[in-house]
Structure 1
Amino acid sequence: MNIRRAVPDDARGIAIVQVDSWKTTYKNVVPDEYLNKMTYESREQKWKDLISDQAVFVAETDDGEIIGFSNGGKERSGKYPNYNGELYAIYILEAHQRKGLGKLLIEPIIEDLEQNNIFSMIVLVLEENNSRLFYEFLGAKKIDIVEIEVLGKKLNELVYGWQDIRSII
């Protein structure tokens, strides 16, 4: 198992993890129509662009298959002045979940934030996503609930925050 910073050639593998993870994690949560429209090709192009602009890390098997990724940076909304960083995304293929990869993928995000003098962080997670328990286990506190709409379906996003990310690792 290897955790490393993503390079543009990783965009396809990241796209596969994102699409496949969404289809397992958000089945019966997000409308099927939305999930069915997600494609590797559309996500791959997005990740090619993001990899050059954001901190993106991948988890790969010994034979080079990408099985998870994380990305993060500065807090994007401006609504949480006590939190300067944000974990934008962390996804792991279902077959590789609950094996410690989540913590391994958060560590380089935290290190990257710390190098930029950012010591607090938020993450947004759908209320029906059980991964919220992972964030709670790592000491995150719920600081807000935001209602979003996906193809007409109203969903709650929970906003979790860590006032000091140095306590996570």
Structure 2
Amino acid sequence: MRGWKDMLIRKARLEDAEQIAEVHVESWRQSYKGIVNEPYLQSLKVEPRFKLWSQVLQNDHSVYVAQADGIVSGFASFGKERSGEFGIDGELYAIYLLDSIKRKGAGTDLLSVGVEDLLQRGFQSMNVWVLKENPSIKFYESFNPIKLGEEEIEIGGEKFVEVCYGWNNLKVLYELIHERIK
């Protein structure tokens, strides 16, 4: 566990599933407003996400939360790379933050603990998929990834481009993150 300012970064527990689900839905509504159509964003419900995160947290997982004033306000999830396309072994599945904690270091700290977790589990590299229109794409780009590919996906009946970024050396990424944290 690592705390800073008025926030705490820690490994998620099963009892966090509901708050993680709430952050998941609300952060989508905040982050993709004006990008993804509003009816789709409003159709997102906490209950299916709660079931998903309850299952994830019951298994061996690498999910971390950013807690502000005792409330989960962000989370990140890491694990084995899912596509097998790029010769990368680890993946950042998601970082979701409420607007109230964006640009305060929570994303960087969640990335740090997740990369450290992957390194401790023997992973050497990592990728992340991010919508090209997502303003947070600049966060990932600030850590000097390589662009591995793009694909077209559909959300709410609309087509979007998703970009895959990767880091071939997690140790180098970890050092870069810690230079920024200092």
Deviation at 1:55, TM superposition (A): 0.7
Secondary structure of 1:119's aligned partner = coil
Question: Partners of 1:29 and 1:130 in 2: how far apart?
Answer: 10
Question: Partners of 1:102 and 1:146 in 2: how far apart?
Answer: 24
Question: Partners of 2:57 and 2:113 in 1: how far apart?
Answer: 14
Question: Partners of 1:27 and 1:136 in 2: how far apart?
Answer: 21
Question: Partners of 2:127 and 2:52 in 1: how far apart?
Answer: 22
Deviation at 1:135, TM superposition (A): 0.7
* Residue equivalent to 2:36: 30
Match of 2:53 among 47, 50, 55: 47
Question: Partners of 1:23 and 1:164 in 2: how far apart?
Answer: 33
Deviation at 1:64, TM superposition (A): 1.1
Amino acid in the other structure paired with 1:56 = V
Contact between 2:92 and 2:126, CA under 8 Å: does it hold in 1? yes
Match of 1:108 among 108, 113, 119: 113
Contact between 2:86 and 2:148, CA under 8 Å: does it hold in 1? no
* Residue equivalent to 1:154: 159
Is 65-74 or 22-31 further displaced after alignment?
A: 22-31
* Residue equivalent to 1:12: 18
Is 30-39 or 98-107 further displaced after alignment?
A: 30-39
Q: CA RMSD in A?
A: 1.1
Match of 1:96 among 96, 101, 107: 101
Amino acid in the other structure paired with 1:38 = L
Secondary structure of 2:83's aligned partner = coil
Provide, for residues 63-116 of structure 1, a one-character-per-residue CA deviation record: whole Å limited to 9, x for no partner. 3111110001000111112x1100000011101100111110011211111122
Where does structure 1 lack aligned partners over 5 or more consecutive residues?
A: none
Secondary structure of 1:143's aligned partner = strand
TM (normalized to structure 1)?
Answer: 0.94
TM (normalized to structure 2)?
Answer: 0.88
Contact between 2:131 and 2:162, CA under 8 Å: does it hold in 1? yes
